[in-house]
Amino acid sequence: MTRLLRSLLLAVLALMLVPTTAGAQIFIARDANGTTVLSNQPVHQPTKIFNVHGAPTYRTTTALSGNAQLYEDLVLEHSKRHSLRPELVRAVIQVESGFDPRATSPKGAMGLMQLMPQTARSLGVANAYDPDENIRGGTLYLRQLLNKYGSEQLALAAYNAGPGAVDKYDGVPPYRETREYVRKVGSKAGATAPPGKPRTVIYRSYEIVDDRVIPKLTQDPPRGPYEIVG
């Protein structure tokens, strides 16, 4: 079996495993450049698509997670560092990029967790296409949003639409894309802990001033070395 055929078969199988009201049907769309899009439902509105590795003229509306295992160690490392559920981080990567480290959105979002250039700079990410840097920055950003909003749903809405939109509407913004994003990631990430008092993560860092070491506690992860104390 050729690599192209094997890649296309994996794409078709992935689409058929996604439950839809239309059943196990595959819909095909083609653009003027000859790129073929495979979908599990008719494409009636702008829809995010993903590369099919080994088949450069094909795209799919369902991300293939064949590369997921390559980044599992990084997901576990950075999830633990920022007290995040690994399931949540995996789900964000799956929906954002389909585990494609070279993914670039039309708006300029980059890498596995689709960091915008300004966000990447604020997180200290020098190369957003480096998987380690990208996941480090993306998980740090998720933790900052969770600390601010206290729930995964609102943190995901802010990750997609920006904190300004969540603040403006005092909740998940009424944008179709954002609501669908929250639903998709939440579905893939699985159930969260029962509702209760949101957990606030406390970070401790140290600063040396005039021959003294001064501990500092903050809810925002410091740029330098730190430890989680609560």
How far is it, in rounded angstroms, from Cα 96 to Cα 112? Answer: 7
123 in Cβ contact with 78 (< 8 Å): no
Q: Whole-prediction pTM value?
A: 0.65
Contact (CB, 8 A) for 149 and 162: no
3-state secondary structure of 58: strand
CATH number of 68-189: 1.10.530.10
> What integer pLDDT is reported at residue 176 of this predicted model?
92
Instruction: State the pLDDT at residue 215.
Output: 78
pLDDT at res. 70 = 86
Alpha-helix residue ranges (DSSP H) falling in 150-205: 152-161, 163-169, 176-189
The span from the CA of 160 to the CA of 20, in Å, is: 24
pLDDT at 20: 44
Burial class of residue 66, CB neighbours in 10 A (0-12, 13-18, 19+)? middle
Domain layout of the chain by residue ranges: 3-60, 68-189, 200-230
Strand partners, 216: 205
| Residues in the chain where the model's pLDDT stays below 70 | 1-26, 40-41, 43-45, 48, 50-55, 62-67, 191-200, 208, 210-213, 223-224, 226-227, 229-230
Residues known to be catalytic: 96
Token pair of 79, please?
């999830």
pLDDT, position 23:
47
Cα–Cα distance measured from residue 77 to residue 87, given in angstroms and rounded to the nearest whole number:
13
Residue by residue, DSSP assigns 3-22 as HHHHHHHHHHHHHHTS--TT
